[in-house]
Amino acid sequence: MSLFHAVVWVDHHTAQVLQFDAAQVLEKQVKAHEHYTRQHGSEVRSEHEFFGAVCDAMQGITEVLIAGSHTAQADFRHYVEKHRPEVGLRIAGWETTGHLSAHALVALARRYFTKHAGMAAPMKT
């Protein structure tokens, strides 16, 4: 079964990708690999590698909500716009949040997609 919606909480060192539908949630963790060198710009290269891995983790997901701090989102958005514009087409929105639990992130995303993208809310029994 393919899951078309996801929420990604991102900072500069870790990302949590939560792909979901009405019945299930699949979680992926992406972590930055810290490898310091004395070369000029190595921190930027490391951040680009990390953001690239986050984009790779979102492959195949139709609509994604990005959550995280304002600065992390701004840096990730800049990376996506400059280096991976095809990923940007699948990003449905940006929400500034603190670090939330997986359950809280999925609840935030469900509310977002229900309100903005017309995703059906899970049925209550």
Element (H, E) at 26: strand 25-31
- Each of the 125 residues of the chain gets a pLDDT tens digit; together they read 357 899 999 998 999 999 999 889 999 999 987 655 555 444 556 889 999 999 999 999 999 999 999 999 999 999 999 999 999 999 999 999 999 999 999 999 999 999 985 554 443 43
- Domain of residue 53, CATH code: 3.30.420.60
Buried b (16+ CB within 10 A) or exposed e, 66-75: bbbbeebbeb
Q: Which residue shows structure tokens 């449905």?
A: 92
| Residue-level pLDDT at 97 | 96
Report how many domains make up the chain: 1
For 27, residues 6+ apart whose C-beta sits below 8 A from its C-beta are 16, 17, 18, 19, 102
| Residue-level pLDDT at 4 | 87
Q: Is the pTM of this model over 0.85?
A: no
CB 108 within 8 A of CB 92: no
State which amino acid sits at residue 33.
H
Does 124 map to a domain?
A: no
Does 110 map to a domain?
A: yes
Does 73 map to a domain?
A: yes
Cross-sheet strand order for the sheet of 25-31: 25-31, 14-20, 5-10, 63-68, 91-96
Does 38 map to a domain?
A: yes
Does 125 map to a domain?
A: no
Does 123 map to a domain?
A: no
